[in-house]
Amino acid sequence: MMMVVGSVANNGILLLDAEHRFRALGFSAQESMIQAGRRLRPIAMTALATIAGMSPLAFGIGPGSQMLQPLAIGVVGGVFSSMALSLIFTPVIHFYLQPRLREETAAEG
């Protein structure tokens, strides 16, 4: 559980940091979130490295691996699902929870 939570937090930090940088450059909220979503590569690399490292345990390869197999299966499933969900739900939730004061005042003026 701790590994999955750490991975999810790292993914969220990467996405939202990129989004804030694009907003500082003058992109709209929607465009900055789309651009931040293109940070798929470091998120996917982290998740795939974790999955690749845990897969021998998850498949039960090696002596004594049956003892840690349930842990590895949980970590692999959690990392895989967190990667998919953090690339979809984190940007959507952040986009809809942002205050839109600057955009609304710019549209009125």
pLDDT at residue 40, rounded to an integer: 77
Cβ atoms of residues 57 and 68 within 8 Å:
yes
**Total structural domains within the chain:** 1
- State the average pLDDT over residues 83-103: 75
Q: What is the pLDDT, as a whole number, of residue 59? A: 92
Position 100 confidence tier, pLDDT thresholds 50, 70, 90:
low
Report the predicted TM-score, pTM, of the whole model to 2 decimal places: 0.68
* CATH code of residue 23: 1.20.1640.10
For the cut 50, the answer to whether the pLDDT of residue 58 exceeds it is yes
Over range 81-107, report the average pLDDT: 72
Q: What is the per-residue pLDDT for 101?
A: 47
Task: Report CA-CA distances (Å) from 27 to 8, 34, 52, 68.
Answer: 26, 10, 36, 47
